[in-house]
Amino acid sequence: MATQNHQCHEQSADRRLLKGSKGKYCNTLYIENNNDTFEDIPIIAEGRLTGCRLGVFLKQDIENPVILPLYPSSPLNTNYPLKNFKKYQTLEFPMYSLDTAAVKVMKTLATVGSGVPVMAFEIPRNLDFLKVHWRRWMPYYEECTDIRILNDDNLASIDDGSLFTLLPSEQLPVEKLAIDPDMLYEIYSKFFIPKIKIKQPNVISKESVRAPCVIKVPISQGQRGVKIATTDREIFEYEEWTKKQGWKEELMYQELLTDTIADRSVQTYIHKDGSVNIGGFSSQTFASNTDVWNGGTYSKTPEDEAENFRMINFLQPVLKSSMRWVTLVTFVLTSWKHVTESYSWSI
């Protein structure tokens, strides 16, 4: 069922852009309904995300939500308080630090709004300056006044099933988590993507992989979780490098698709009831050497909107498979001259 009482949405496109002879409107977003392709699709909530804040969505799914916007680190990281020692392995490069953790907290404080506590290792430095900056430049900014230090006492005070995290951590009490940690780890993995019936590069077994190909660490953060190998030597060297970084599990090998013409993202929030809020659409940009992602440009023209709604149609199988999660997902769709689209995601 869709959430019908959102007061902070506005219609994002003229319906005339979307009207067709077959199909139905799914609130503001138009969904093709040829044959039975999308009979059981999750319902898209009304309009483009505008005034809504992250806390508004979380309070619709969790009675007393608390956000922990921090990634756990690996046992190799001696100077980081939150770690996974045996389960939920992640490759991170570079290693997390208190500074990078502070950035994650600040991004959340800017967008969560009021009424939802945020947990942190420490209160961000220059917070008063940041609040002034956010009030000036963020039209829908609302101050978060409840920042809690991550410690045993504050964890114990959280209601069971109320802690919203980005990734599972062994050090967090399972009963406090809003999402089952094993399931969250599974859906975060790149190995989950081939289970969804959607166009994507073919997966290659380790035994038969040859260059050129793409190698992916299934769970990774930072700059080195994906490698385009142009020679068999590069395949071997990347495998050895991941081992030195502490990665002990399988790697994912896929065919390399060339002639990329676009790289776009759709930001979404998926509710427990299966409804989906669209946060925005963006075209990804990279540095001149194509190795470093440096952000995305949000689309606003009517021509862009038509393309954006086509992307929503393409994502329907993914959204359907994502129902009953309470999670934030960014879907990255890549277009080629000879292949319609493929996708990856992050949470």
The pLDDT tens digits for 71-87 are 999 888 888 999 999 99
Instruction: Identify which of 93, 322, 317 has the alpha carbon closest to the alpha carbon of residue 220.
Output: 93
Q: What does the pLDDT look like over 13-38, one tens digit per residue?
A: 322 222 222 333 233 333 333 333 33
pLDDT of res. 274? 74
Per-residue pLDDT at 311 exceeds 70 = no
| For residues 325-338, average pLDDT | 51
Higher local confidence (pLDDT), 279 or 199: 199
| For residues 237-260, average pLDDT | 91
- Neighbouring residues of 228: CB distance < 8 A, sequence distance ≥ 6: 212, 213, 214, 256
Phi, psi of 31 (to 5 degrees): -120, 125
Query: What does the buried/exposed string (b/e) look like for 265-299 if buried means 16 or more CB atoms within 10 Å of the residue's CB?
Result: bbbbbbbebbbbbbbbbbebeeeeeeeeeeebeee
CB 47 within 8 A of CB 9: yes
pLDDT of res. 123? 92
User: What is the rounded CA–CA span in Å between residue 3 and residue 24?
Assistant: 18
Instruction: Identify which of 283, 325, 341 has the alpha carbon closest to the alpha carbon of residue 61.
Output: 325
CB 213 within 8 A of CB 254: yes
Calculate the CA 95 to chain-centre distance: 20
User: What is the rounded CA–CA span in Å between residue 294 and residue 257?
Assistant: 22
Where do you find CATH 3.30.470 in the chain? 9-51+258-346
Judged on CB neighbours under 10 Å (0-12, 13-18, 19+), 309 is buried
Structural element, H or E, at residue 64: none
Average pLDDT, the chain: 75
pLDDT of res. 275? 75
Q: Which percentage of the chain shows pLDDT scores above 70?
A: 65
- Residue 313, classed as helix, strand or coil, is helix
For the whole model, what pTM was predicted? 0.76
In the structure, what pLDDT confidence band is assigned to residue 322 with cuts at 50, 70 and 90?
Answer: low
Phi, psi of 251 (to 5 degrees): -105, 160
Judged on CB neighbours under 10 Å (0-12, 13-18, 19+), 145 is exposed
What is the secondary structure of 2-41 as a DSSP string?
-----SSEE--S-GGGT--SS-EEETTEEE--STTTTTTP
pLDDT of res. 303? 61
Instruction: Identify which of 71, 61, 68, 64 has the alpha carbon closest to the alpha carbon of residue 94.
Output: 71
> Count of H helices and E strands in the chain?
7, 19
Q: What does the pLDDT look like over 117-170, one tens digit per residue?
A: 999 999 988 899 999 999 998 877 899 999 999 999 999 999 999 999 989 999
Phi, psi of 200 (to 5 degrees): -165, 160
Per-residue pLDDT at 243 exceeds 90 = yes
Residues, the chain, total? 347
Instruction: Identify which of 51, 48, 45, 54 has the alpha carbon closest to the alpha carbon of residue 5.
Output: 45
User: What is the rounded CA–CA span in Å between residue 131 and residue 109?
Assistant: 9
CATH number of the 9-51+258-346 domain: 3.30.470
User: What is the rounded CA–CA span in Å between residue 339 and residue 51?
Assistant: 36
